[in-house]
Amino acid sequence: MYSIYFIYNKCLNHNLILEKGYGNSEFKFYRLAKEIADKNYNTIICNTSVIKNDTEYIDNITYKSYKSLINGLIKVDNHDIFIIMRDFRNVQLLRKYYNNKFIVWTGDYFTHKQPCHFMNKDDALYISNDINTTIVAVSKIHKKIIEDYFKSYNINKFNITYIYNCVFTKHFINKKYEINKNDIIFGSSWSKGLNKIIKLFDKLIKKHPNFKLLLMRPNYNLSVVPDRDYIKLLNTVDTKPELSKIIGSSLCVLTSEFFETFGNLFAESYYLNTPVIATHKKNGLHEIIDNSHICNLNNYDEFEKLILSFYNNRPFVELNSQFYEENIINEWINLFNKL
């Protein structure tokens, strides 16, 4: 049996990620590694949590130093598979020492107008000629965006597929919550269009003062809380059970016009049977949610109409089981076996 190396230049582990609101990308990375380990694959995470002894064992996962791997100091079998989280630059660095099959798993949105922080033209050209590197996108539309990015360099031959992010259902509490129909959630990073949501709420609250906008704060978000009486700050929601109660008891969750390559929070909302109001601008979350619940966020009347329709008759929604961990883990294992 080959080993799976998960590579990420961050300092966490698969248990700590359950305790703090570090962000969904980190949560998906570490919990995917744990699921793979639980399938009896020898699983190694190379990150910056291990420095002194270079090796640490936590549950059924081995942790090794990211720096040691990048410098070619870790002995691996040629049949082992590397999963590189988001950083395309690591392909060239690791190829100096390792001839293994590489997977670059990215959830990032990038175009030439909005460049990737983890890849330049040289990296793109190198990866396109590396037949042993596969890119994994997180949705169909995300895959197309990456294809278009590479084609702009006249690169048409490279390995790319998509595997949806999964909702790790075992960490949530899905039950029938008492709904507070006045509570509306914005749980994304505040840089993802919160200002437009506030402008909509400024109008909404004049006519319907009962509504509250509940803001969650990712732990990396140090912005000042907007000064509005209708805003209720929840700060960082550290655990998925806590998140379950907040989302499960609210009227709905809001997105912005920010391009979501997948939309982790919104898939989780659907698992908790909470509807999502989304922008009409197509992105990854439209592959998850009910597309009759979209509106032009530049049109206040559309927004108000949808909010009030939810208030008067909150729709029942549920997540398609294709996004559950068991199905997604099987897709990853199928990919490993194809490489």
Q: Look up residue 58 and give its two tokens.
A: 């936590």
> Do the Cβ atoms of 201 and 213 come closer than 8 Å?
yes
How confident is the model over 2-27, as pLDDT tens digits?
999 999 999 999 999 988 767 788 99
Encode 96-129: b = buried (16+ Cβ within 10 Å), e = exposed: eebebbbbbbbbbbbeeeeebebbeeebbebbbe
pTM attached to this predicted model: 0.94
Q: What pLDDT digit, counting tens, does each position of 52-102 carry?
A: 778 999 999 999 999 999 999 999 999 999 999 999 999 999 999 999 999
Do residues 110 and 135 make contact, with C-beta atoms less than 8 angstroms apart? no
- Mean pLDDT in residue range 137-165: 92
What is the model's pLDDT at position 238?
82
3-state secondary structure of 219: coil
Q: Domain spanning 3-166+325-338 has what CATH number? A: 3.40.50.2000
Q: 11: Cβ–Cβ under 8 A, 6 or more apart, which residues?
A: 47, 48, 49
> Coil, helix or strand for 38?
helix
Q: Give residue limits of the domains in the chain.
A: 3-166+325-338, 170-321
The CATH code that applies to domain 170-321 is 3.40.50.2000
Q: Residue 220 has what pLDDT?
A: 61
The yes-or-no verdict on residue 216 having pLDDT over 90 is: no
Give the amino acid at 162: Y
Token pair, residue 55, equals 């090796």
42 DSSP 8-state letter: E
Question: Which candidate, 108, 118, 265, places its Cα nearest to that of 185?
Answer: 265
Handedness of CA 287, 288, 292, 297 (dihedral sign): negative
SS3 142: helix
Confidence at residue 264, expressed as pLDDT on a 0 to 100 scale: 94
For residue 323, the SS3 value is helix
The predicted structure's pLDDT at residue 24: 83
Segment of 122-131, 227-236, 268-277 carrying the highest mean pLDDT: 268-277
Mean pLDDT of the chain: 93
- Beta carbons of 186 and 216 less than 8 angstroms apart: yes
The pLDDT, as a whole number, for residue 152 is 84
